[in-house]
Amino acid sequence: MWEPQQPSVRMVTRLLLLTSVLLSTCKVAESQALFTSVTLTLEPSNAVSQGTNVTVRCQALVSSSGFLNREYTIYKDNTMVYTKNITTTEDLIYSLRMARVANTGKYKCKVKIQGKERSSNSEKLTVTGLQTPVLSVDKRVFSEGEEVTIWCKAPEESGTIVFYFYKDSKDLYEEMVNANHVKTKLQFSKAGNYRLHCDYRVILLPDSIQSNASNNVVVTVKELFITPVISVRPHGSMIIEGDNLDISCSVSGDLQNSSGLKVHLSKGPNLLSTGQSKANHSMTAWAKHSGEFECSLEIGDVFKQAKENVTITELFSQPVLTMYPTEVFERENITFTCKSSNYSSDRISASDVKYTIYKDNHTLTQGSSNGIYFVPVVVWNPSGIYSCKADAREIYKYSAKLPVQAKVLVSKPEITVIGRVIVGQPFQVRCHSDRGSLPIEYTLFKKYSEVNLITVQQPHHQAIFPITIQHYSDMQDYQCKAQNNPKVYALVSNKLNTTVIVPLSNPGLTVLPDLLEVVEGIEMYLICGVEGSPPVTFKWYRRGNVQPLFTTTSSKSSASHQIKEVGNEHSGTYYCEAINNANVVQSQPVTIDVKMAMWKKGLIVACCLLVVAVLVLACVLCYNSKRGKRENAAELSVKPSSPKSDDSLTVSLTHSTMEVYNPPEVGVEAAVSVWSERPVDPGSDGESSAASNNEPDVEYTEVVHRQPVDPARVPLRKGTETVYSEVQNSPTGAPGDHYDSQGSVEYADLNGDQPEVNQALLQVNHQDHHDLPVPVE
């Protein structure tokens, strides 16, 4: 028997190697795929009519060396409608058989290969033409309120469709469905013949497309032979208030098919009674019940109605509440009157009607026949809500409410000032009463003379008067009065009383002690005074300084600034400034010259006297010393060799000339003494110049002239005759001369032949300007 051979190991190995090679080849092919493009087309075209078969073709161009797995997806208006995976290279086909308007939209294809996606462009498909719908009913003849079933169909359409039903071309019913037909049940409430049809709309967001109208179906609605009936008792139009009123609502006709029948009796919005086939209502007649009563019949959707107008005559008219006067003030007489102007004389008399007056729902009068009420004067505030009631034969009526707001008499006004009051400047005065009903008339007057009048009409208004005063005492002359009731005297306020600010004036700066007595070391007070209202701020300034020396605020009209120890540094020009709430004023400047203290003056005088005394003593001592030397020198230098009594010569010197008197002897030569100013020495030092500027120096020059010699008399030495010449030095001195500070006298030898002439220097005080007689021996 033959047995199948088992495969060898070598063969299995070869098969495994072949399989791995194939798999690797596939992987290489996949990895080498090139995704080129994706294209979508619509066939036969992008616009077709209804019922056309449309092909949506998606083509992917891919270059590869093997088989690839391709995932195709078709989208319509971004909504996925079809998907498929294929491994072949053939195109994806999506068929739309018998395309309808619902297939209209934008189509797009997306292909996914090896994790890579490519999308085609969008193509718009337009399908035109809708199927004409068909309308049908289950029965064409039916009664009022009976249900009938209606269909509207479009069997070849798809998508979201809204169906519309019409009755005689008027909207009857509509419904949206995701189907191609709709079914509904309707009722008709009125008898008659009606033409019905339908149409539909296919929703293509954001638009919709409407179909043609369906066929027309005529239906007949038969009237139900039942009607509502209303009856009112008593009959006729003479129903008077207080009568008993009976009203009934019933049905007449064929009630065999009246299942679900209901009747309602109502008056306006008020439902009075209801029942299956009858409804009744009884009540006492009031005039307010006049009007239409309604009897309604309801069966299914059938609604029938009958109406009856009922007129009820008033037993008496609604009372009217009045008051006199129409405007009242507190504690003022008021009369309220409640009255019904009409009444039914067939049933009652005027005295049968009783009146009650109320205030804030509290009874003021009970059952008064005349309806008059007096508010007593003791009632401080009669304000409130008033009303009245009239009743007769169990019929009562209320008047309309009468709100009364009694006016409040004005209270005593207050007159006040707004802001600050400054003399000479305008300001405002307000007149106000805490209580009082508007309008209020405010009058401002001065010394009983009316100045201005303001009427306040609104709550937020005020009576404000502008005034100006010229003196602070004028404030007491103003008052105001308020009045809101011409029958009552006006109330007068108190006199206007407030703080008045007087502007500062007449500023002045006073210095204590007196300006002539301001010396070093004393206390000095700068007093600044003004006229005006305190408080006043005073500031003291010294000219040249921006900042004040001192500032203070005082409740008085003056203030002072103290300087304890006055010194020379306090000399200068001062002024002060005064400030209050009205203005700023400045004083005239005052110049202060601080004088030296008396003890310093005495010390200086004493020092001067001491210096003068020392100088005088020094001058006297110097003068005496120089005079003694001069006299000795003169005696030695002027003696002749042979003195004679008759040879004496007297010389007299003056400032302008010097005269020489000679004795009358013959043969005696004349000697001349001449004053001469010493010329200025430019080389003299400053000290000599200073001395010479103060005092002129006088020099004397002795000139000796040769005299004839008596041959009989031969002197031991040649005789000389001395001539003195006084020279007054210029302030700057004479060049080449030798002199001291006190002046000098020099002797010049005029005898050139005799060097033996004796010369001597005579010192003379420069302050002595008198004639100096010089004897010659």
492 and 522 inside one domain: no
The verdict on pTM exceeding 0.75 is: no
What is the amino acid identity at position 158? Answer: S
CATH code of residue 277:
2.60.40.10
Q: Which of 352, 384, 404 corresponds to the end of one domain?
A: 404
**Going by DSSP bridges, is the β-strand pair 123-128/47-49 parallel, antiparallel, or unpaired?**
parallel
Residue 604, domain member (yes or no): no
331 and 466 inside one domain: no
Residue 160, domain member (yes or no): yes
241 and 207 inside one domain: no
The b/e string for 329-365 (b: 16+ C-beta within 10 A; e otherwise) is bbebebebbbbbeebbeebbeeeebbbbbbbeeeebb
pLDDT digits (tens, 9 = 90+) for 113-159: 888 888 999 999 999 989 999 999 999 998 877 889 999 999 988 88
Q: Which of 252, 285, 313 corresponds to the end of one domain?
A: 313
Q: Which of 222, 255, 281 corresponds to the end of one domain?
A: 222
Instruction: Provide the Cα torsion 535, 541, 546, 550; round to 10°.
Output: -60
162 and 98 inside one domain: no
Whole-number percent of the chain with pLDDT over 70 = 75
Query: Of all helices (H) and strands (E), which one includes residue 247?
Result: strand 244-253
169 and 94 inside one domain: no
744 and 622 inside one domain: yes
150 and 258 inside one domain: no
Average pLDDT over residues 314-321: 92
CA 442 from centroid of its chain's CA atoms: 35
Residue 556, domain member (yes or no): yes
Residue 3, domain member (yes or no): no
Total of domains in the chain: 7
294 and 342 inside one domain: no
| C-alpha distance from residue 661 to each of 160, 641, 666 (Å) | 176, 21, 14
Low-confidence winner among 233-247, 304-318, 687-701 (lowest mean pLDDT): 687-701
pLDDT for res 115: 82
Q: How confident is the model at residue 715 (pLDDT cuts 50, 70, 90)?
A: very low
640 and 756 inside one domain: yes
Q: Which domain holds residue 255?
A: 226-313
309 and 324 inside one domain: no
698 and 747 inside one domain: yes
Q: CB burial class (10 A; 0-12, 13-18, 19+) of residue 489?
A: exposed
636 and 743 inside one domain: yes
Which is higher by pLDDT, 770 or 633? Answer: 633
Residue 123, domain member (yes or no): yes
Block residue for tokens 């049905």: 251
CA 292 – CA 274 distance, rounded (Å): 17
Residue 14, domain member (yes or no): no
The mean predicted confidence, pLDDT, of the chain is 78
Question: Which long-range contacts does 567-570 make (Cβ < 8 Å, 24+ apart)?
Answer: 567/520, 567/521, 567/594, 568/520, 568/594, 568/596, 570/524, 570/594
pLDDT greater than 50 at residue 776: no
Block residue for tokens 């209050």: 580
pLDDT greater than 90 at residue 467: yes
Which is higher by pLDDT, 201 or 252? Answer: 201
Average pLDDT over residues 22-31: 46
Residue 24, domain member (yes or no): no
Residue 608, domain member (yes or no): no
Contact partners, residue 365, CB within 8 Å, separation at least 6: 355, 356, 357, 373
